[in-house]
A and B are shown apart, each in its own frame.
Chain A
Amino acid sequence: MVSAYRTDALRDPTAELKELFATHESAHDFAPEVTRHFSTVFSSSEAFAEIPTLDVQNPPESYSDRSLVRFRAMVQDTSPSPGMYLRRNASGTLGGWGLHEDVSEEEERNVDVGELRECTTVWAVSIPGESDWCQEELSGSSGQSSQTHTPAKSYKYPDPEGSHIGVQVKLYDLDVAEQLKSTDLATFVGILTKEPMDVEAESPPDVPTLHVLFTRPHQQSLVERPYPSAGSSSVREELVNWIASEALGGDVDAAEWVLLASIARVQSRNPPLLPPSVTLAQFPAPPISTQAAPSEAEAPALPNPALSHVLSQLLPLTHTLPLSLATLNKVPFAPESKDEDLHAGALQLPQGTLLLVTEGGVREGKLVERGLRNIVALQELLAAQTLSYTFPFSAFAFPTDIACVVLTEGTKSAFFRTDLTVPLRPAADARLYKPRAEVALPEATKLAAFRDLVVGAQQGKVQVSAAISEYIQQDFVRDRQQDKAITSEDLIRRMTVAKLYALSMHQTELTVDIWERAKAFDERRRARLAEL
């Protein structure tokens, strides 16, 4: 029975929807019925996988009008005003879900206000920074399509140049819609059409529109992994070594810091237990390609560090933000509402993203006001994990959960104050910049184990017993007696590091041993810093 529905729904979702309406015509609130019905039909994962995906490989143009698709997306903008639709058209058929009838002005006056329903409109874009392996796991492998898609309203994507899809999503089930917030990730399943955006405008352009049947939110992470998982200790070591050899010129300590940074998530906002931001100092600048003449106007595209490729192999969401004066001065980092349309900023990234900021491309020059604002925005993100969206006459700080690693040539970041600075000590012949293809991947099972460790640790929790608390307090007072320079900030940092250390070992409890190891680990870093 259910599978019959499934085939029907896949083939002609509109007919299925209308049929459902016929049986629920009297229902006051039809939308929840739709959600219930279709999520039941596609409840099994294999059924869900049968729904074709809407992505860069399969852009809206490749689908016929009113096909059923699923769209794994980031909610970019929830500010469009909700729309109203007639639940039942004048002819008695179902309204909504893109099924509008054109009515004459005469009829318009006879609208039964009681049949009006509300639907929420949000703008959703392809998930920025989604790794290939994650995409494959969730969408199934799909052949590269030759179609080039020109996305609508590309300014609503954090990286406007990048290939992506932007879709107007109409949600009819308001309970679901209420939960959605900016940068939330969800898979929307619905009927794909084209409709005008923004009814206020004079002649609004048609944009791809998804009339949602049901939604699957991705609350914690795109992919799930268990915590704690067995046999982590050797995997952890191998992982650290792999990162070190492939991306950091053999610097194992730095690799371990990168690991800690990438598993850090926001634990609590009050009090603020935020992921520590890490600066990898003395990270050599990218080799400037000799053939390109260094012209002011067109800076040559700089190669991404190998670290960027390595991280995208490990994490579901990573984003590399190469800083240069041009990007700082031109690209908006924080979202801004212009003409009541929220333009995305480069930092409007989903929760759980690791942001790799490279300062290698920055040259001397002038930062204009936007550049300053951008730096402030990123600094605020590092310090408080909030990103301020600009609206007319007001700014709203939105919570973010973005771990951040800054690569800088100097002894500390030129622009940002990070919680931790780790000077890099690469081997002399290290190739820190290389194309993706040249990164040596471990065997598949090993790589899977690495991913399990990292993703699991991102979602893990560590307990701290009273005894350990007491121990840490004593430790702090003792240290402070010996060294006046140690402040409460040091204590806070050590506690944060120790917790992450425990997480990276897939431990459920913080022990004295881990505390001491983490402290020693942090001391090694400080010692390196002192040597600078």
Chain B
Amino acid sequence: MSSPLKFPSSDPPDAEMADGEQGTPNAPAQQPLFFAATPSAAGTPRRSQRQQSSVPPSSPGSVVARRAVGLSTPKRKTPLFTAGSSSPLAFPSSSPRKGATPRGANILASSSSPPQSPGGSEPLEFPSSPATPKNRRGDIHSSLSLTPVARRRRQQNLNSDDPMSDGTNLQIPASSAGAGFSAAAEPSDEPAEIRAIWGTTVNLAETMKTFREFMLGFKPKYRISYDRSRGVRTRALASPDEGEVLLYEGYLRRMRQTGETNLNLDMNNLAAYPPSKKLHSQLVKYPQEVIPAMDQVLKDLMLEIAEQDQQAGMEGMADEDGEEEIADIMGRVYKIRPFGLPSGNMRDLNPTDTDKLVCIKGLVIRATPVIPDMKVAFFRCLTCNHTVQVEIDRGKIDEPQRCPRDVCASVGTMSLVHNRCEFADRQVIRLQETPDAVPDGQTPHTVTLSVYDELVDVSKPGDRLVVSGIFRSVPVRVNPRQRTLKSLFKTFLDVVHVRIGTDDRLGVDKSTRPAGGDRVPGVGGVGDFFGDDEESPLEQQRQQSRRAEVEAKLKELSQRPDIYELLSRSLAPSIWSLEDVKKGILLQLFGGTNKSIARGGGAGGPRYRGDINVLLVGDPGVSKSQILAYVHKIAPRGVYTSGKGSSAVGLTAYVTRDPDSKQLVLESGALVLSDGGVCCIDEFDKMSEATRSVLHEVMEQQTVSIAKAGIITTLNARTSILAAANPIGSRYDRSKTISSNLDLPPTLISRFDLLYLVLDNVDEQLDRRLAQHLVGLYLEDNPHTGGQDILPMDELSAYISYARTRINPTITEEAGEELVKCYVTLRKAGEDPRGNANEKRITATTRQLESMIRLSEAHARMRFSSLVELADVREAFRLMREAINTSARDPTTGEIDMGLLDTGIGRAQRRMRGDMRKEVLNLLDGAGGTRGVRWSEAFKALEGQSSVRIQASEFQEVVRELEQEGLVKVVGERDRRVIRRVEGA
């Protein structure tokens, strides 16, 4: 297996190399020879070359790797010539018989020994042996390249006194593998003259050795003690053994078993393992050098472990299976994806970060379709059919201007053969600062991200990302056709690791995301040990310690007996009173748990919403809008919209043509955007019919269907809605029912779990305090806010966020019974005590039961309790009653009637008639006997009993009804009418 190592060829510093071994630039004589063997090594002075060729099939079963070392080309050569003359040659070393192919000796331009590879002169030999792909990564523009070390089966240690390393600046320390991977810490047997990679302090051998040690030696206990030393709360281990596990060895096995090729490397672990501390800072400073080295170690270890397992006869790894597995591993490209740096603001990126590993947060605003990125161009000479492969170098491919074969050397005959070229996936993403990261009054900045391979299409526009990547500055081209560049630079990030949806504000409700669907493929796969399995992998040190601190504080807070009051007080503290409204909204923020039938089996079952919807109705000037604005600020994915201005489109989604790709794209509106969050809608009553009809769907099905431009689709809009509406005619008319006060269809009103009436009352005491409050606010210089003991907004937000993500309370049996009891009570409240079935009012419907469940869950969440207990249900019941009291109370009878909300039909009249009917019958049964009662007397008697005035028409109507039912009989005319009870009725 060949492993050409390359040095940043750039400059004199490696004089040793240039002088010693490297051929002079003018050594074209050997070109033909080299060309044949190295079709891919086009002039890439700095570009890594990884070339491996597996052993020809003639050595069955053996995965003997051959190695060739390519030395970098001195810079002085022109790119074209570099391509041919001195490129690192993949040198299919002859055969195992030679033992250690001299790694350096026979390769270089100066080398006089002709390549012995039988296939060396065969132009197509290279492409035909793809079994060991080059370890190319789009994200790393390394100046050196490594190839996985040769694995010698049966522990042949062939490298111990490898002659190749002398004189070269390269070394492949992993060759120590010969001693078996258990001897990880074994010092490299390379001669000690190899030093740092040019321009860095990275000693390649050392780096690889250290990383190897880390991979083989790291145990969770290191991390735990590291975290403790930083004051970070650590997870308790189930047993001391857990801390002794060789974490990464386990991961490597898992990778083999799952076919995963990416290993997420938590950089905090590097820092935590004492011997690899230095590696952490090296990784940050020189990722382009260190990451490829790590990749190589990873592959080496994969092979070693596989071999070890094979020898141990592990299940599935015995003999043939094992061979196959190892061959597979050989053929794969393994990548380390480091993460866990403190994430910063993209505004803080500055020139000193160039080529360093950085971590930033942002919002994806645009992503290109997948771009096939040519990695290796394949050229064929039209004259002699000679082929050449040219590898990409920093985004450019140098097209050979003439056929490199001396015998041919025709100019301009090299043509690109597209289907022989190698491509990789690339995608360009524009990442915009998240609203919370933008300093006040500034417009958000945007950075360009390049993502490659597995990371392509992982994120979609609208996602919040935490990306780790290498910060690049490249000069701007004056003119695309010219070779000159301006000394002006543009910057972008080559992404190495992506994590979706981390936010300091309330997180996205995870139950709204498809299970596992959001995982970053290949990336989330293996390696997030400490990150649990959730979306909260280890944050960087500062944040983590802060988080732990906050967590402890939050837990402490949650123990306070008055936590409920404290939180509700802290919600919009500048707003006067409205305690119950605030409590309702607070519970809305916590939300109930989403339940999905999928959990019980049968994926994709319906999902029962846990979102609580709240509607505020009230007089103008009672701070409804202020409450909304406040909630919008702390709510997850909070979207604030005013009903008046939002058309159906603004509130839903629409289809536009992307200006770049000319493809149709979906742009989602407010409701879709607030999927998993809270959507605040002001002036709900002013909303157009069309928009409202969309809300019907959103509020029960939690989806938005759109049919536009030939696309019919359903988007998820799993959002809680907090809406505010003004009554008809601005002021609430107390003598009317809520439905007649509100210009909203009752069907929509009933979809709100809580509906509050916020009314303005005149009361001297209250007025005085209000005036004081306002004068203080508006006239004095140091405005004071409501209570003294309140939580700051960020803490409140953190509290809610924590509860939402961590706590999913389940209902205890006791609480369940209480729920049933409360529901029955509510239902009973609607029953006519006189058992008149057809007069029954609807007090509570199953909707209210569901609401109550959600509210009790939210209350339990608020307490950080994993169980919904009696008290939670009682408070939910109280809140429901309060809300029903204010909203569903019949203005004339003062009784609760959900029918008012559900059907909008006032029932006061019928209620009154019911009473009257009863009384009329009583009257007749008592005093009247069989003779009956005179009409006027009966009317008078009733009026005497009743506290409200009885209308003659009502009385007449009641009597007529009774007569129709055959219960009474009216005889006589006009004033002489007599009402008689019908006997036996």
Q: How far is the CA of A81 from the CA of B673 in the complex (A)?
A: 26
Residues of A within 8 A of B490 (CB): 81, 83-84, 199-200
Contact of A394 with B444 at beta-carbon distance under 8 Å, contacts A116-B489, A118-B350, A477-B768 already known: yes
Contact of A393 with B355 at beta-carbon distance under 8 Å, contacts A105-B485, A376-B645 already known: no
A1 within 8 A of partner (CB): no
B365 within 8 A of partner (CB): yes
Q: How far is the CA of A54 from the CA of B771 in the complex (A)?
A: 52
Q: How far is the CB of B720 from chain A (nearest CB, A)?
A: 19
Stretch at the interface among A148-156, A257-265, A322-330, A484-492: A484-492
A181 within 8 A of partner (CB): yes
Q: Which residue of B lies closest to A396 (CB)?
A: B435
Residues of B within 8 A of A464 (CB): 779-780
B783 within 8 A of partner (CB): yes
Residues of B within 8 A of A202 (CB): 480
Contact of A376 with B644 at beta-carbon distance under 8 Å, contacts A271-B574, A396-B438 already known: yes
Residues of B within 8 A of A389 (CB): 443
Residues of B within 8 A of A391 (CB): 365, 432, 443-444
A18 within 8 A of partner (CB): no
Interface bits A70-93 vs B (CB < 8 Å: 1, else 0): 000000011101111110011000
A342 within 8 A of partner (CB): yes
Question: Which of A85, A200, A340, A468 is in CB contact (< 8 Å) with B489?
Answer: A85
Q: How far is the CB of B114 from chain A (nearest CB, A)?
A: 32
Q: How far is the CA of A279 from the CA of B92 in the complex (A)?
A: 86
The reply to whether A95 and B441 contact each other, CB–CB distance below 8 Å, is: no
Residues of B within 8 A of A48 (CB): none
The reply to whether A398 and B365 contact each other, CB–CB distance below 8 Å, is: no
The reply to whether B446 and A81 contact each other, CB–CB distance below 8 Å, is: yes
The reply to whether B771 and A393 contact each other, CB–CB distance below 8 Å, is: no
Interface bits A171-196 vs B (CB < 8 Å: 1, else 0): 00000000001100000000000000
Q: Which residue of B lies closest to A105 (CB)?
A: B483
B787 within 8 A of partner (CB): no
The reply to whether A110 and B762 contact each other, CB–CB distance below 8 Å, is: no
Q: How far is the CA of A484 from the CA of B476 in the complex (A)?
A: 70
Residues of B within 8 A of A309 (CB): none
Q: How far is the CA of A182 from the CA of B442 in the complex (A)?
A: 6
The reply to whether B443 and A78 contact each other, CB–CB distance below 8 Å, is: yes
Q: Which residue of B lies closest to A491 (CB)?
A: B774
Residues of B within 8 A of A85 (CB): 487-489
Q: How far is the CA of A492 from the CA of B445 in the complex (A)?
A: 39
Question: Which of A77, A103, A109, A476 is in CB contact (< 8 Å) with B771?
Answer: A476
The reply to whether B771 and A83 contact each other, CB–CB distance below 8 Å, is: no
A220 within 8 A of partner (CB): no
Contact of A103 with B488 at beta-carbon distance under 8 Å, contacts A116-B354, A273-B778 already known: no
The reply to whether A102 and B484 contact each other, CB–CB distance below 8 Å, is: yes
Residues of A within 8 A of B369 (CB): none
Q: How far is the CB of A336 from chain B (nearest CB, A)?
A: 11
Interface bits B765-776 vs A (CB < 8 Å: 1, else 0): 001101110111
Interface bits B346-357 vs A (CB < 8 Å: 1, else 0): 000011101100
Q: Which residue of A lies closest to B777 (CB)?
A: A271
A510 within 8 A of partner (CB): yes
Contact of A113 with B487 at beta-carbon distance under 8 Å, contacts A372-B647, A376-B645, A492-B774 already known: no
Q: How far is the CA of A414 from the CA of B163 in the complex (A)?
A: 91
The reply to whether B673 and A393 contact each other, CB–CB distance below 8 Å, is: yes
The reply to whether A104 and B442 contact each other, CB–CB distance below 8 Å, is: no
Interface set, chain B 428-481, CB cutoff 8 A to A:
430, 432, 434-435, 438, 440-448, 461-462, 473-476, 478, 480
Residues of A within 8 A of B487 (CB): 85-86, 89-90, 95, 100-103
Q: How far is the CB of A132 from chain B (nearest CB, A)?
A: 29
Question: Which of B354, B491, B647 is in CB contact (< 8 Å) with A369?
Answer: B647
B764 within 8 A of partner (CB): yes
The reply to whether B448 and A200 contact each other, CB–CB distance below 8 Å, is: yes
Q: How far is the CB of B627 from chain A (nearest CB, A)?
A: 14
A481 within 8 A of partner (CB): yes
Q: Which residue of B lies closest to A101 (CB)?
A: B487
Q: How far is the CA of A203 from the CA of B350 in the complex (A)?
A: 25
A111 within 8 A of partner (CB): yes
Main secondary structure of the interface of A (DSSP, over half): mixed
Q: How far is the CB of B956 from chain A (nearest CB, A)?
A: 38
Residues of A within 8 A of B771 (CB): 472-473, 476-477, 488, 491
For chain B, the count of residues having a C-beta within 8 Å of the partner chain is 72
Residues of A within 8 A of B858 (CB): none
Contact of A84 with B489 at beta-carbon distance under 8 Å, contacts A271-B783, A469-B779 already known: yes
Residues of B within 8 A of A480 (CB): 762, 764, 767
Q: Which residue of B lies closest to A181 (CB)?
A: B441
Residues of B within 8 A of A113 (CB): 351-352, 354-355, 473
Q: Which residue of A lies closest to B45 (CB)?
A: A109
The reply to whether A495 and B778 contact each other, CB–CB distance below 8 Å, is: yes
Interface bits B289-324 vs A (CB < 8 Å: 1, else 0): 000000000000000000000000000000000000
Residues of B within 8 A of A109 (CB): 10, 46
Residues of A within 8 A of B880 (CB): none
Residues of B within 8 A of A110 (CB): 10-11
Q: How far is the CB of B600 from chain A (nearest CB, A)?
A: 35
Interface bits B489-531 vs A (CB < 8 Å: 1, else 0): 1110000000000000000000000000000000000000000
B343 within 8 A of partner (CB): no
The reply to whether A488 and B621 contact each other, CB–CB distance below 8 Å, is: yes
Q: How far is the CB of B790 from chain A (nearest CB, A)?
A: 14
Q: How far is the CB of B341 from chain A (nearest CB, A)?
A: 19
The reply to whether B441 and A340 contact each other, CB–CB distance below 8 Å, is: no
Q: How far is the CA of A488 from the CA of B11 in the complex (A)?
A: 77
B649 within 8 A of partner (CB): yes
Residues of A within 8 A of B461 (CB): 392-393
Q: How far is the CA of A114 from the CA of B352 in the complex (A)?
A: 7
Question: Which of B11, B351, B480, B483 is in CB contact (< 8 Å) with A116?
Answer: B351
Q: How far is the CB of B202 from chain A (nearest CB, A)?
A: 16
The reply to whether B778 and A496 contact each other, CB–CB distance below 8 Å, is: yes
The reply to whether A392 and B783 contact each other, CB–CB distance below 8 Å, is: no
The reply to whether B446 and A340 contact each other, CB–CB distance below 8 Å, is: yes
Residues of B within 8 A of A510 (CB): 779
The reply to whether B365 and A392 contact each other, CB–CB distance below 8 Å, is: yes
Residues of B within 8 A of A164 (CB): none
Q: How far is the CB of B393 from chain A (nearest CB, A)?
A: 10
Residues of A within 8 A of B650 (CB): 369, 373
Interface bits B6-26 vs A (CB < 8 Å: 1, else 0): 000011000000000000000
A6 within 8 A of partner (CB): no
Q: How far is the CB of B869 from chain A (nearest CB, A)?
A: 38
A499 within 8 A of partner (CB): yes
A108 within 8 A of partner (CB): yes
B486 within 8 A of partner (CB): yes
The reply to whether B484 and A104 contact each other, CB–CB distance below 8 Å, is: yes
Residues of B within 8 A of A392 (CB): 365-366, 432, 461
Residues of A within 8 A of B363 (CB): 393-394
Contact of A489 with B435 at beta-carbon distance under 8 Å, contacts A103-B475, A104-B483, A113-B354 already known: no
Q: How far is the CA of A89 from the CA of B491 in the complex (A)?
A: 18
Known A114-B352, A181-B442; further 10 A-B contacts with Cβ < 8 A: A79-B444, A108-B475, A108-B485, A182-B442, A199-B490, A268-B783, A480-B764, A491-B771, A491-B774, A495-B775
Can you list 29 A-B pairs, Cβ within 8 angstroms, ordered by A?
A: A83-B490, A85-B487, A102-B487, A108-B475, A109-B46, A110-B10, A118-B350, A199-B490, A268-B783, A270-B783, A375-B645, A380-B642, A391-B443, A392-B461, A393-B363, A394-B363, A469-B776, A469-B779, A472-B779, A473-B768, A477-B771, A484-B762, A487-B621, A488-B621, A489-B621, A495-B778, A495-B779, A499-B779, A510-B779
Could you tell me which B residues sit within 8 Å of A by CB distance?
10-11, 46, 75, 350-352, 354-355, 363-366, 430, 432, 434-435, 438, 440-448, 461-462, 473-476, 478, 480, 483-491, 574, 620-621, 642, 644-645, 647, 649-650, 659, 673, 760, 762, 764, 767-768, 770-772, 774-781, 783
A-B pairs, top 7 by smallest CB distance, nearest first, are A376-B645, A116-B351, A181-B441, A84-B489, A79-B443, A392-B365, A464-B779
